[in-house]
Homo-oligomer: A and B are copies of this chain.
């Protein structure tokens, strides 16, 4: 049995509270077990210099932890004066995977700023950030639609992420908490779309390798969890979810 009594292939309780921050165009508080992340999506009416004049939009993400999100207080990156490599890696990941399910041509020269701020951490902060940020982003697009700035949701599919790992006792497990993460032989973050396509597969573990068979089982387990996460997204997004579903079905049929 796992440290918190879960089955190997069981997610922690997941909750997404929408409209959590009143100023943001889109915002959620996502809770995955004891991991809590505030995700906001902000709309900026310009794109970065390297994209100007191209007529396309851009999505970029920033990720941070409050100093006491963790067991030990971590020093603020604003005090250190620079971002850690870990932070950079995570925020690049979040931006990249969100861009893979958005039709950037449809939003014109706008930037969507995604901010993921971890207020409490217990493993899986980057995957919770992706899952929550997707919802915040859809809400921001929905606001653009209300303002008649775009005429359809530019989102081509759902997107969510979870972690999977190989536990010394339990074998392949889903959605690792902090303790499990520290003990896992292999630890992998998987990002998938609603139609079951992979977006990123990232080993983040240390000093461990895995065979093709292990990879197969890890990916199947991840898919199981991601389907449930997307179900939660669908519930909170309501009619917006239907629009994405339709669009996604069309895309898949075209392939």
Where the two chains meet, the residues of A that have a C-beta atom closer than 8 Å to any C-beta of B are 21-24, 27, 34, 38, 40, 42, 44, 62, 64, 66-71, 73, 76-89, 91-92, 96, 99-101, 104, 113, 115, 117, 119-121, 157, 193, 196-203, 206-212, 215, 219
Contact = CB atoms under 8 A, between A and B. Distances in A.
Given A21-B69, A88-B88, A196-B212, 19 more contacts: A21-B68, A22-B120, A23-B68, A24-B68, A38-B119, A40-B67, A73-B115, A76-B78, A78-B80, A78-B83, A101-B209, A197-B209, A198-B211, A198-B212, A200-B202, A201-B203, A202-B203, A212-B219, A215-B219
B197 A211 contact: yes
Contact of A62 (B67, B88, B89, B209): B67
A21 B79 CA distance: 21
A120 B89 contact: no
A77 B197 CA distance: 36
Contacts of A100: 206-209
Given A89-B88, A100-B206, A209-B199, A34 B62 contact: no
Number of chain copies forming the complex: 6
A211 to B, nearest CB: 5
A57 to B, nearest CB: 12
Given A81-B81, A209-B197, A40 B24 contact: no
Contacts of A83: 78-79, 85
Contact of A113 (B22, B67, B115, B120): B67
Nearest to A36: B21
A92 B85 contact: yes
